[in-house]
Amino acid sequence: MTLLPPGSTIGILGGGQLGRMLASAAAELGYRTHVLAPDAESVAAQTASSFTRADYHSRIVLDEMAELCDVVTYEFENIAIDPVAYLASKVPVHPAPAALEIAQDRASEKAFIDTIGGRTAPWRRVTSIAELQAALTVIGAPAILKTLRLGYDGKGQVRIADAGEAEAAWEAIGQQPAILEGFVTFSHEFSIILARGHDGSMVSYPPPWNQHKDGILALSTLPAPAEIAGQWAVAAALTGRIADALGYVGILTCEFFATVDGPVFNEMAPRVHNSGHWTIEGAVASQFENHIRAICGLPLGDSALTAPAVEMENLIGNDVDRCAEILAEPGAHLHLYGKANARPGRKMGHVTRLKRL
């Protein structure tokens, strides 16, 4: 692909904070952005050049978007495939819809990883209570039951401590197609954030240690402890194989568990990721910049740390009340997403702290 000249327009499907930060990064590189989202209040639209508030399924709106944009990307993976595939028939879309299709279904995602030699938790696809009970006899307890599709931030999943809890778990996830995963004993969670360009070049970031609270990412810290650092190469190599196998263009994120037997793949996201927000100030080129560079055919930017240690803390719900305190901290960079209401569990912003060791 030829390099997209500055002044070109990048379409973004989705109106959340990831789109907001992508639009800012695009603007810095001289590109225009156009956001399509159904939300009345789109925080991505606040930083984009233009915004269409509409349903993703309107052909008229998609035709307009294809006309207006030189390349299209998306900022969330639960978008329906149809509009993405339709756009891809008219304008370059990155990452390609095939990556989205795999990442949207936990069973196809895990099966795909199995085929390219990655390690996952033992898993079975289940579509009925009988299949769940049968899967439990193979996988054993404790285990986790996750809806096949549409899960995020720990939603759509329930832990099963012993086989007697199967029925309650099946009810709890709404009796829908799911996967049962064996419970992985891990010391740490981490992620590999990798950018791949049209020419197959790749850059990946040093892995953050990701700590969750109530199923939501709370903290990402770097440099990662030895338990993660020792598994970085294997996890990054697997992420690279995934990107190559998919002919991927853009940022790809894979979440891993660090175990005594090496990294276990948890899930992938075909997009920029919350565990990469630290890269805005904590890396030479951010994940958002590298996504824009990749989809526009520019050379990829440097992923090296800009400080000896970096920490990203999510500001969830009422955490935003601490803004004044955070602004007074030396080395702290506050990001607010422009959301009007601080509901519990809602990601309102984040703070990145650049630290000395």
- Rg value, the chain, Cα: 20
User: How many whole angstroms separate alpha carbon 244 and alpha carbon 87?
Assistant: 23
Number of residues this chain uses to bind Mg ion (CB under 5 A): 1
Tokens 């912003």 locate to: 349
Q: How many C-beta neighbours within 10 Å does residue 58 have?
A: 15
Residue 314: its H or E element: strand 309-316
Least separation in angstroms between CB 264 and Mg ion:
13
342 belongs to the binding site for ligand ADP (CB under 6 A) = no
Find the part of the chain contacting ligand ADP (CB under 6 A) among 34-42, 181-189, 307-315, 332-340. Answer: 181-189
Contact pick of 181, 281, 311, 313 for ligand ADP (by CB under 6 A): 181
183 belongs to the binding site for ligand ADP (CB under 6 A) = yes
Phi, psi of 253 (to 5 degrees): -120, 130
Phi, psi of 204 (to 5 degrees): -125, 150
**Longest pairwise C-alpha distance within the chain:** 60
Structure tokens at 142: 């404790």
Contact pick of 109, 165, 255, 281 for ligand ADP (by CB under 6 A): 255
Interface map 207-246 toward Mg ion (x if CB under 5 A): ----------------------------------------
Window 129-148: residues binding ligand ADP (CB under 6 A): 144
Q: Looking at beta carbons only, is 25 or 144 nearer to ligand ADP? A: 144
Contact pick of 68, 108, 147, 152 for ligand ADP (by CB under 6 A): 152
Q: Looking at beta carbons only, is 72 or 148 nearer to ligand ADP? A: 148
Residue 228: its H or E element: helix 226-229
Find the part of the chain contacting ligand ADP (CB under 6 A) among 46-54, 91-99, 180-188, 318-326. Answer: 180-188
Number of residues this chain uses to bind ligand ADP (CB under 6 A): 15
Window 186-245: residues binding ligand ADP (CB under 6 A): 189, 212, 215
The residue count for the chain: 357
User: How many whole angstroms separate alpha carbon 313 and alpha carbon 150?
Assistant: 25
10 belongs to the binding site for ligand ADP (CB under 6 A) = no
76 belongs to the binding site for ligand ADP (CB under 6 A) = no
151 belongs to the binding site for ligand ADP (CB under 6 A) = yes
Contact pick of 121, 145, 280, 312 for ligand ADP (by CB under 6 A): 121
Q: Looking at beta carbons only, is 165 or 255 nearer to Mg ion? A: 255
Least separation in angstroms between CB 289 and ligand ADP:
24
Residue 172 DSSP label: H
Contact pick of 54, 61, 172, 184 for ligand ADP (by CB under 6 A): 184
The binder of 237, among ligand ADP, Mg ion, none, by C-beta within 5 to 8 A per type, is none
Least separation in angstroms between CB 220 and ligand ADP:
12
Q: In whole angstroms, how far apart are CA 233 and each of 114, 138, 164, 204, 250?
A: 18, 32, 40, 11, 20
CB 157 within 8 A of CB 144: yes
User: How many whole angstroms separate alpha carbon 24 and alpha carbon 163?
Assistant: 49
**Pair type for strands 32-37 and 9-13:** parallel
266 belongs to the binding site for ligand ADP (CB under 6 A) = yes
User: How many whole angstroms separate alpha carbon 200 and alpha carbon 240?
Assistant: 10
Q: Which residues contact 168 (CB under 8 A, 6 or more apart)?
A: none
Residue 255: its H or E element: strand 250-259
Please give the residue ranges that form the binding site for Mg ion (CB under 5 A): 255
Please give the residue ranges that form the binding site for ligand ADP (CB under 6 A): 121, 144, 151-154, 181, 183-184, 189, 212, 215, 255, 266-267
